[in-house]
Amino acid sequence: MSGNIQLLTDTLAAAKAEGRAALIAYLPAGFPTVDGGIEAIKAVFDGGADVVEVGLPHSDPVLDGPVIQTADDIALRGGVRIADVMRTVRETHEATGKPVLVMTYWNPVDRYGVARFTAELAEAGGAGCILPDLPVQESALWREHAAKHDLATVFVVAPSSRDARLAEITAAGSGFVYAASLMGVTGTRESVGAQAQDLVERTRATGTDLPVCVGLGVSDSTQAAEVAGFADGVIVGSAFVKRMLEAPDHPTALTAIHKLATELSQGVRKQR
C-alpha cells in the first residue's frame, strides 16, 4: 500500500496558493493515553492545523525539551508501542483526510526494522517521517524503503548547518525541510529570532523546490504570523503539549489545544 507523500505535497502547495504558511502541529502518540492522543490530534486538526506530526515517544529525546520529555514519559509509562503509533496515524488520517507524519529518532526504527516500519506506516495512511538524528550519509536504506512506499523523508537543518551541508540535505530529503529556528531543544520561547529567517533563506538558496518549515519556539499567533512571513510552514509542538499538561482534565485539554490551533491558524493567515 502506498503512503501519502502526495497528500502532504498538495496540502503545502494549497497553503502557498492561498498566500499563507501551513500550520503543522506536533503531539506525541500515547499522551495522555493512546485514545486520548488520537482525540487530541483530531482536536488540533479541527482547530485549523494543516498537517500533524505524531511523535514516537522515546526515552532519550535529544531534540526535545522538558515539556515534550514529560509527555513522552507519561506515554512510555502507559506502555505505548510502535503499534499504537501506527494506530494513531491510521485513525487520525481516516477521520480527517489530512496528512499525518511520524517524528521519531532513529533507534526505534532501526530496532523495529526499516522495511517493516515503512510498510506499516504506508498501510496506516502515513505521509512520511521526520528523522532528526539520522545523518543524510547514513540514510540510504531508509530513503530506499520510504520512496518504495511513497513516504516523505523530512530532514532537520539547523543554524549551524553549513551551506554545503544544506545542499546535501535538501537534495536527499522529500516532503519538506524542517528548519530548527535555533540551536537547542524544543520549547516555547519569547522570540523565534532572526536566525530562523537566515536559515530559511540559506536553505532556499540551495535551489531546492521543497517547502521550508520552521519549528522550535513558536507558541502563539503573533510568533506564528512572524514566522509565516518568511517560511512555508510553521511547526508548533511544545505549546500544544504544555496546554495539555496544564489542563485539569482531558476535556479541558482538548478545548485548550483546539483554541490554540484556531489562534495559530489565524496567525499563519495574516498578511505578509
pLDDT, residue 24, reads 98
Q: pTM of this prediction? A: 0.94
Alpha carbon distance 244, 70 (integer Å): 11
pLDDT in tens for each of the 272 residues of the chain? 688 999 999 999 999 999 999 999 999 999 999 999 999 999 999 999 999 999 999 877 666 678 888 998 999 999 999 999 999 999 999 999 999 999 999 999 999 999 999 999 999 999 999 999 999 999 999 999 999 999 999 999 999 889 999 999 999 999 999 998 764 444 444 455 678 899 999 999 999 999 999 997 788 999 999 999 999 999 999 999 999 999 999 999 999 999 999 999 999 997 45
Which of 51, 58, 64 has the alpha carbon at shortest distance from 25?
A: 51
pLDDT, residue 32, reads 96
Task: Please state, in angstroms and as integers, the Cα–Cα distance from residue 148 to each residue in 7, 13, 90, 92, 162, following that order.
Answer: 16, 23, 19, 23, 30
pLDDT, residue 3, reads 87
pLDDT, residue 63, reads 64
Alpha carbon distance 241, 187 (integer Å): 10
pLDDT, residue 2, reads 83
Alpha carbon distance 198, 230 (integer Å): 10
Q: Note whether 101 and 52 are within 8 A (CB).
A: yes
Residue where the block lists cell 522538558: 66
pLDDT, residue 189, reads 43
For 53, other C-beta atoms within 10 Å of its C-beta total 27
pLDDT, residue 208, reads 96
pLDDT, residue 193, reads 61
Q: What is the CA radius of gyration of the chain?
A: 17
Active site residues: 53, 64
For CA atoms 84, 85, 86, 89, the dihedral sign is positive
- Residue type at 179 in one-letter notation: A
| 165-185 b/e (C-beta count within 10 Å ≥ 16 → b) | ebbbbbeebbbbbbbbbbeeb
- Residue type at 54 in one-letter notation: V
